[in-house]
Chain A
């Protein structure tokens, strides 16, 4: 019954479409206010937010058979950003997961009208992405390659073709464009209402004008919600509150950090043209001009993402009513100029309105979904970076799967809430960062760009020392890490401009760092890595770790084990190294961005046992990686202890003194496959140890190196990165890590069954290394990641990472090879034979390069002996 009231509102709106009629729609809603509503006292799921996200989650949950769902909206359904949305559905995204979400949304919205009987205004217009520069065209070509392999038609077209597709465009300054014919426009408010209607028919109860005050939490678990109209008990809570999601998260007793922030966003509506635009006129995205243009009721709708965004609502909710935001023509002026440059004939077109519609942005321009690490059952779907309509369907589906099955059907790590920590939840940080993110939506995305705002938050104690020596920095999880070190004689200005799809300026610098790692010794500050300590009074620590890890961690004290933390499906939740410090205590090293995710995973699975202690010691240790054949000499000179493999075998850990400092954890591993040591140094000794290492190391040719060198060394040896190559859907068997799994270790571990089954049935994808053959490093586009892999001309997968190997003097790409059936497209078993008997090509922005596939790393890289007659005089020079 509640729903029919809503439908009547929709009916009113439908008869008088258009932006002018909001007020009438609103008054009809207030007329219905008298309608008294009583909330149910309990439900399985409570969804907060009646925008496209909330309704989509409700729709998909109800489709999956969950019926006991309540959706609460503080105002009216589809009244926030969803109402003001420009209504463009675009599948051309940079991330594959985003492309898939948009593609799903497109298909969903298309059939929604048929399913629900509610008109959504869906029209397939197609969209054209213009390129004013060659670099932009490269970027479009990369997207184009990726769209094609997941079955979304698109093509790169000439400016002349652009002019044919759109009558009003000025094309003389274009170098090309990408045409995506199946993109569409749709009324997002109507889509939300249609989804709500379908959900309601499936049993979802929807209440508007109900404000959630806060979420009730008991023992780290969602217990219910407190609204202005009473309490509802529930097991699951879904925060789809859009730009208010941050505030709602903070309102909890135990706050849930949802880092997002709103910016004002403007678009223009005009009266119809003299000859009104066809309703199927394609949507134009002129990213170099920072604008989008779509047809709207015979006229146009045009907005953009300006360089100087206006953040809003920093101080929280309801300073201003969203409906009452001011139009700011002066602010819109650059975009208007850009529009008139692109479509000069519009000069005489009459303005109808400038709409100010705040959009929500996240610190890394990717949306936020998933379960809170702090509160179980607290799910979030928000922060759409102004692509809410495009992602709404797909994101709602994945989140519903997540709630129902415990995990979504696709790898969504890049969108997972747990990629952020509490450090991204400062208002100041968010305000500053979104001012960088919003323009970035239309900026050219080149490999290896780093955010400029919100930096220098977490730093190693050596930061200033390294910075003074020319370090250039990148940021991971708020931690500053050196990329490479600019030698004093290099031109700094030129290096800062290294935004290119081709060979970057730092090539020579990284080459010399890599060379030094191979021939002498380098030191890399790796303090950002996540470090946990697990201790217990008895065997509890060992027991839980044996259950959580696939490898056997019951090793003698002092040994290090590389292992994965797997999920039930056998996929990697984390990839880490564990050192056994003593019988009852373990030291665990994980990738930097695992800090929140790994902690949540451990907490979730650890028994509540006061004798078992898990501690995050990331901040306690500075990590120095001494890489290279002379690392042995440096360390033995500093410790007066023999460090040769006989005395200090590989994958061994020992506390020892280095210089004056005692209690340094020295581990014989380097994360690169090169010889050397990791030093875990209590932070107060960091500067001392670093200085000692550098001064003693001088005669061994020591120098600083950065992550780019590390990356090159790792990738050429076929080492996978968690988060990039490995994810929750890849198993150790799929990436040749059988040796890191002990299926018969005498006790069960998570994912064991899945792995046993996989061992029997074979794997459906295989992690493979590709060495590019006919690729000219100086002249050709460099691979990045996400490039399609072709086997005998058939698409078989995408690359996940790549780097230039200075030893092989070739580019190395890592990626997964699938075996799609030629007839059905179904995935089939991938055997070693299948991999080996294929001719491979990697598609970089539409150009295919031949590649050699390898299942195992190049053996010659692991032999470190230098032949006597190779020694040169130059080897005597200091590095």
Chain B
């Protein structure tokens, strides 16, 4: 497949930033003579103060040469002279051409990928350069399926005595990477000491360190916030006396959803400090715990801990670097807590929770349970303006980005938007060399006068489940920017109920020939096969998100092209997509309703 063919497919993720700010960048990860010209950072763009065009022309590295025709094809040639883009992965990546930086650390997956050299990239681009005729190749349907299904996970709430008494039937989740490595994360767990189930999607930026940490830790903070005083005391006493701890969460994880073993001790200590404070703060009155408040507290506390850990540092140099990377990268979070008919959604950033409601006539409608925290949200714009002096009103949001840089207006981590300049400088200077060498971390956002500009405080929505609420879709913006919410709900709804609703054929009194019937059946089977292909609603949704043609049906050729994009190009056409589809148990929900 030629690159022009790729581009002619016309879906370029650059669209979210192209029309807005065009940023010139001397990529900090490269030395001066190796300027990277990469497609656009979706979340963060960094303006370059001095850039000289001649540098491009006389010492242009291979990827640059490759991308020039590319950009022209993209009708972006007009920006050639003034702007180029940097793949945001490079922002905090220490120079890939310093191999020793890799050798100093154990190759933990998160870490290895964090400072992964770009050999593949060079191989790919150089290989391309010499390919005289563009080769045409398509992935076969089984290949497409193996890509789409690689990360799929399904969980069914176990039944007791043949009955499922939970309001959740189960969930399907999946993710499709565009970044390499993927920066999205997902989590799902059942609370063991309280009732309810937690599900969340986390969209990382400037690396995956923060989203990874949040995906591991946030649910513990929420679960602890929900625990009654006695249980907290019991756990604390158990820790103190070395007894076995009460388990708090039952995780439902795909094998690829890992936990960082190295930081586990550190994370535990921070969590313990949190519950110790909760114990101390308890006034003795046993009041009902408010889920909304618990969610807000947990979000804020975790963000605070992330920030503190980075400021304090750790004697272990690996851990020290890890906590810094977590703090300097960022992540949005969209978390649902389902307990009986009570559904709380806590959202920070631009991921979204969508409720699938089946109307009486069988049709589907979408109810949004979260607000995006970005420039499209008037109330967020208002909030930001109120939180900062009037003279910053113009600079605090520029080109629809926070301080002209960041797309989400709320996020975990991202201490560059939270700490004072002094603190940032101090931490960086005392930090490890890798941090010091990293231009991105050193770079202070423009117009940075009254930090913090960013918060992790979530907006919590409450919804009381009704029998017609069939499912909840939690997904990162990778899904929502390719598909309308109404389509999402319709596709999932039809998938989940599709088979039951397909009317059986009956000949009745009509005159039907064998040939006619055969034609009809073959047609029905073809229609069904796309549904049958997926055992997972999230996979089915991704198939549509990536492969839908203008008629709203999955086009295999398009799907194949999109999935066979080399990992370095994929990010231009799509973002990481992470989806969790939670299915509700209408019988149980209905029974709750009848009780009251």
Contact = CB atoms under 8 A, between A and B. Distances in A.
A354 interface: yes
B504 A350 contact: no
B505 A330 contact: yes
A285 to B, nearest CB: 19
Given A330-B525, A336-B518, A349 B513 contact: yes
A329 interface: yes
Contacts of B518: 333, 336-337, 340, 347
Nearest to B519: A347
Nearest to B506: A327
B20 interface: no
Interface in B504-532: 504-507, 511-515, 517-518, 521-522, 524-525, 528
Interface string A836-875: 0000000000000000000000000000000000000000
B504 A330 contact: yes
B507 A333 contact: no
Contact of A329 (B505, B511, B515): B505
Interface string A189-231: 0000000000000000000000000000000000000000000
A278 interface: no
Nearest to A327: B506
A339 interface: yes
A333 B525 contact: yes
A743 interface: no
A326 B514 contact: no
Contacts of B528: 330
B500 to A, nearest CB: 13
A160 B515 CA distance: 26
B504 A327 contact: yes
Interface in A312-364: 326-330, 332-333, 336-337, 339-340, 346-354
Contacts of B512: 350-351
Contacts of A332: 521
Interface string A256-269: 00000000000010
A350 B506 CA distance: 14
Contact of A326 (B504, B507, B525): B504
A329 B528 CA distance: 14
A349 B515 CA distance: 8
A337 B517 CA distance: 10
A336 B514 contact: yes
Nearest to B502: A330
Nearest to B515: A347
A329 B514 contact: no
Nearest to A343: B514
Given A329-B521, A330-B525, A333-B521, A349 B514 contact: yes
A370 B117 CA distance: 75
B521 A330 contact: yes
Nearest to A347: B515
A270 interface: yes
Contacts of A326: 504
B511 to A, nearest CB: 6
A379 B512 CA distance: 47
Contacts of B502: 330
Contacts of B513: 347-351
A346 to B, nearest CB: 5
A328 B515 contact: no
Contacts of A353: 507
Interface residues of B, number: 17
Contacts of B521: 329-330, 332-333, 336
A346 B514 CA distance: 7
Chain A interface size, as a band, is 20 to 34
A340 B507 contact: no
Nearest to A348: B513
Given A350-B511, A351-B507, A329 B517 contact: yes
A339 B504 contact: no
Contacts of B517: 329, 336, 351
Contacts of A350: 511-514
Contacts of B511: 350
Given A333-B521, A333-B522, A328 B504 contact: yes
Contacts of A268: 514
A269 to B, nearest CB: 10
A327 B508 CA distance: 11
Nearest to B507: A351
Contact of B515 (A327, A330, A333, A348): A348
Contacts of A330: 502, 504-505, 521, 524-525, 528
Interface hub of A330, A332, A348 (most chain B Cβ within 10 A): A330
Contacts of A352: 507
A336 B502 CA distance: 20
Interface in B474-520: 502, 504-507, 511-515, 517-518
Interface hub of A268, A339, A349, A350 (most chain B Cβ within 10 A): A350
A346 B513 CA distance: 8
Interface string B73-115: 0000000000000000000000000000000000000000000
Interface hub of B512, B514, B525 (most chain A Cβ within 10 A): B514
Contacts of B524: 330, 333
Interface hub of B502, B506, B507, B522 (most chain A Cβ within 10 A): B507
A340 B515 contact: yes
Contacts of B522: 333, 337
A268 B507 CA distance: 11
Contacts of A329: 504-506, 517, 521
A326 B515 CA distance: 21
Interface hub of B511, B515, B517, B522 (most chain A Cβ within 10 A): B517
Nearest to B517: A351
B531 to A, nearest CB: 13
Nearest to A302: B514
A340 B522 CA distance: 13
B514 A270 contact: yes
Interface string A479-519: 00000000000000000000000000000000000000000
Contact of A347 (B504, B514, B525): B514
B507 to A, nearest CB: 5
A755 to B, nearest CB: 58
A339 B525 contact: no
B102 to A, nearest CB: 37
Nearest to B525: A333
A336 B507 CA distance: 15
A339 B525 CA distance: 17
Contacts of A354: 507
A315 to B, nearest CB: 12
A350 to B, nearest CB: 5
A398 to B, nearest CB: 41
Interface hub of B513, B522, B525 (most chain A Cβ within 10 A): B513
B405 to A, nearest CB: 55
B519 to A, nearest CB: 9
A516 to B, nearest CB: 42
A328 B505 CA distance: 7
A833 B150 CA distance: 72
B504 A351 contact: no
Contacts of A333: 518, 521-522, 524-525
B512 to A, nearest CB: 5
Given A330-B525, A333-B521, A333-B522, A351 B505 contact: no
Given A340-B514, A350-B513, A352-B507, 6 more contacts: A327-B506, A327-B507, A329-B505, A333-B522, A337-B522, A347-B514
29 contacts: A326-B504, A327-B505, A327-B506, A327-B507, A328-B504, A329-B504, A329-B506, A330-B502, A330-B521, A330-B524, A332-B521, A333-B518, A333-B522, A333-B524, A336-B514, A336-B518, A336-B521, A337-B518, A340-B518, A347-B513, A347-B515, A348-B513, A348-B515, A349-B513, A350-B511, A351-B507, A351-B512, A351-B513, A353-B507
Interface of A: 268, 270, 326-330, 332-333, 336-337, 339-340, 346-354
**A-B interface, 5 closest residue pairs, ranked by CB to CB distance from nearest:** A347-B515, A333-B521, A329-B505, A351-B512, A346-B514
